[in-house]
Structure 1
Amino acid sequence: MAQGEIAWNELATGDVEGVKGFYGDLLGWKAQAWPMPDGGTYWVWQHADADPDADPSQVGLAGAFQMEGPQFEGQPPHWAVYMTVDDCDAACEKVGALGGKVLQPPFDVPEVGRIAMVADPSGAAFGIMTPAVRG
C-alpha cells in the first residue's frame, strides 16, 4: 500500500456478538475469528462468498474487537479508520508539529504492522500504520 491510502477499518464495541449479526444481515458480511497472541479473538468481516480457509488478513473487509479493560472506560463503541504511512514513528513526530496530537504512541502488531492512534488539529481521531512486510 502507498502512503496515504486507507489501510483498514475497525469497530471497537462492547457487544461483538450482537453486532456480528447486524452487519451480516445488513451488508451480507460474515465474521471469521482470528485468534490473537494474547488469547483474545479479533473478528475479521468478509464477503459472504469469501473462501472460509483464506487468510483473514488477505480477504478481510474490516475488523472488530471486544472493548474490555480500563483503557476503554467511558469510550462509546466506534469505528476507526487507519491510513498507511511509510514510517509510523516519524509520522507521529510530524503529527505534533502540524498541530495534531498522538493519542496512543506507536506499537507493533505481529504480522500486521506498526500502529498509532492520532488526532488532527480539530480533534478527529484516526489510526496510522506502517504495514508489516510480507514475504
Structure 2
Amino acid sequence: MSYHGNPCWYELTTTQGKLADAGAFYAKVLGWNVADSGMEGFEYHLAKSDGDVVAGLMNMPDDVSGMPPCWMVYFAVDDIDQFVTDATKAGAQVHHDVTEIPGTGRFAIFADPQGAAFGVLEPAPMTPSAEGQAFDQQKAGHGNWHELMSGDPEAGFTFYSGLFGWTKGDAMDMGEMGTYQLFRRDGKDIGGMMGLGESPVPFWLPYFGVDGSVAAKVDEIKAAGGNVLHGPIEVPGPAYIAVAQDPQGAAFAVVGPEK
C-alpha cells in the first residue's frame, strides 16, 4: 500500500539551549511524554502520545542559529530520489539533501516555489511512520490538520497536487482573507490552503488534536508561557480551533470538539 502524500511526521526546531523547556511546554499542553531518542552524537527528543511516537524536537542547528523556532511538517513519499527530481522541476528548492536515518528511512527538506518549507520522508520498510501514527484525526495529541499560508495558494495547490496527488475539497469564502481551499488525500480532508493573512512569511502550520474544550486549552497554553494569536473560534465540522506560539515563538494550532 502506498502512503505517498500522507502527513507522517512533525518536527520542532527550537532555540538552542531551550530543548528541554520546549518539551516541558508541549508535555503540559498536549499531554506528550517527551524523552531523548538516544541518537548518538545528536540531541533529538521524541514525543509520544498514548504510546504513539508523534513528533520530534531538536535544537536549532549552528548554521541557521538565527532562524526563528518553527514546526516542520513531513509528508511520506514512495521514492525520494524521484521526488527530488520532480519537486525541483516544479520550482522547489532543496534546503537539506536526501539523508538516511538508520531504521527510519530517508528524508529531505524543501521550500516550495512560494517559499514555504516542508519535509518528505521515504520510510524504511516495515516502519509505521508513513501510516499515520503521528497523523491521526481521531486521537488527541496527534497531528490533525495542516494549513498552508502562501503568497499564491492557487499555485501552491497546483504544486502539491502535482507531487502528492491531493485533490480539492470544499472552498470557503473568507471575505478580505480570500478563499480557504481544503485539500484531500484518498477522499479525506487533511488540510487547507489560504493567503498569507497576517503571516509575514509562507509556512505550513500544524494543528494538533485536543480532547474537550479549546478555551480551556487556550488557558493552559497561556499558563505554560505560550502566546495565543487567534481563537478559540468555531470552524466547519463543527470544531473549534486556536492558533498559538510556544514560549520560544514556534507557531502551532490546536483543534477540538468543544469551545
Q: Same fold (TM over 0.5)?
A: yes
Corresponding residue number in structure 2 for 1:63: 192
Gaps in structure 2 of 5+ consecutive residues: 1-137
Alignment of 1:1-135 (within 5 A): 1-36=138-173, 41-47=179-185, 50=187, 59-68=188-197, 72=198, 75-86=200-211, 87-131=213-257
Report deviation, 1:93: 0.7
CA RMSD of aligned residues (A): 2.3
- After TM superposition, the score normalised by the length of structure 2 is 0.41
Distance 1:41 1:131, change over 3 A: farther
- 1:78-110 CA deviation, whole Å, 9 max, x = no partner? 111111112111111111211211122311113
- Rg bigger for which structure? 2
**Structure with bigger RCO (C-alpha 8 Å, 6+ apart):** 1
Q: Is contact 1:84-1:131 (8 Å) kept?
A: no
Cα deviation for residue 60 of structure 1 reads 1.5
- What secondary structure does 2:156 align onto? helix
Count residues with an aligned counterpart: 119
The alpha-carbon deviation at position 75 of structure 1 amounts to: 1.4
Q: Normalising by structure 1, what TM-score?
A: 0.74
**What is the identity percentage for the equivalent residue pairs of Structure 1 and Structure 2?**
34
The one-letter amino acid paired with 1:83 is F
